[in-house]
Amino acid sequence: MRDITIIAAAIPAAEVKDGLLVVPAKEIEGALDGLKRLGGFMLFDISAVDRPTGSPAPQPAASTPGAAPGALAAAASAPASAVPGAAPAQSSAPAQPCFELSYRFMDMREKAKDVLTLRVIIDRDHPVVPSVARLWPAADVLEREVWDLMGIEFSGRLKQERILLKSDFVGHPLRKDFVAPKRERFPSPSWDRKAAEGGL
């Protein structure tokens, strides 16, 4: 892979944090355009993480040598963001409810491959980002999946419909505040009758 600092220099408003390319939400369109213009990147994955209590300080797990058992126990007993000792770098910004959206790329120009992750933190109340399906057609199905399961909207798409769940499904199940219904409604008269009688 091309050196990540060189890539970051070519992309507006991008910075390197723990091996990730981090871009502010406002600049995401320009950043992805810039990455496309650099050329040779294959978009192969888009994923999102729901953080209703805010994003914890970035901690590269791969390079953290076995944390002290005390810190582990403290982190286990309470959410990581609420424990000051467990997340010391937390203080720089107040924790806002957010989604962490990651675009993952493979550098097809270089023989040695590594995953390039472009990370953007987006507002949980207005989760809208511009679509990249016009730049990488691969994004079409990936964006549909993220919208379907996590409820992040991609603007500028021709159509935004569910891909894995059925079209009349309500809610986005991978959000942390999603409450799964005890039984899924099965569309049939006998089901409705039983439900009305309280038999389900």
Partner 1 sequence: MSDFITEADGLETQEFILNLGPQHPSTHGVYRARLIMDGETVISAENKVGYLHRGIEKLAEGITYAQFTPYTTRFDYVAGALQPWAWCLALEKLGNIVVPERAEYLRVIVGELQRIASHLVMLGSIVLDFSAITPWTYVFNAREDISDLLEAVSGSRLLVNYFVNGGVNADLPEGWIPKVEKALDSMLKRLDDFDRMVSGNEIFVGRTKGIAVVSAEEAIEYGITGASLRASGLTFDLRKDSPYSIYDRLDFEVQSMPAGDSFDRYYVRLLEIRESAKMVRQALKQLPAGDIRAKVAKVWRPAPGEAYAAIEAARGIMGYQVVSDGTVKPYRVHMRSPSFCNIGIIPAKAPGLTLQDFIAFIASLDFVLGDIDR
Give the shortest CB-32-to-partner 1 separation in angstroms. 14
- Based on the shown chain and the rule CB under 8 A, indicate whether residue 138 belongs to the binding site for partner 1: yes
> CA 191, 192, 196, 197 torsion: positive or negative?
negative
| Size of site (CB under 8 A) for partner 1 | 51
Dihedral of the alpha carbons of 45, 32, 158, 165, in degrees to the nearest 10: 20
Give the shortest CB-197-to-partner 1 separation in angstroms. 28
> CA angle 98-148-61, nearest 5°?
45
175: nearest Cα among 99, 65, 77: 99
Using CB under 8 A as the criterion, what x/- string covers residues 93-122 for binding partner 1?
---------x-x-x-x--xxxxx-x-----
Site for partner 1 in 14-43 (CB under 8 A): 42-43
**Which of 108/128 has CB closer to partner 1?**
108
84: nearest Cα among 75, 97, 93, 76: 75
- Based on the shown chain and the rule CB under 8 A, indicate whether residue 182 belongs to the binding site for partner 1: no
| Spatial separation of the C-alpha atoms in residues 164 and 40, rounded to whole Å | 30
Give the shortest CB-193-to-partner 1 separation in angstroms. 27
The set of residues, in sequence order, having a beta carbon less than 8 Å from that of 160 and lying 6+ positions away, is 144, 147, 153, 154
Binding piece for partner 1, criterion CB under 8 A, among 7-15, 25-33, 68-76, 186-194: 68-76
48: nearest Cα among 148, 182, 166: 148
| Spatial separation of the C-alpha atoms in residues 170 and 68, rounded to whole Å | 43
- Based on the shown chain and the rule CB under 8 A, indicate whether residue 137 belongs to the binding site for partner 1: yes
Terminal C-alpha separation, the chain:
55
Binding residue (CB under 8 A) for partner 1 from 142, 151, 154, 157? 142
- Based on the shown chain and the rule CB under 8 A, indicate whether residue 56 belongs to the binding site for partner 1: yes
Binding site for partner 1 (CB under 8 A): 42-45, 47-50, 56, 59-62, 64-67, 71-72, 75-76, 79-80, 86-87, 102, 104, 106, 108, 111-115, 117, 136-138, 140-142, 145, 149, 162-166, 173-174, 180
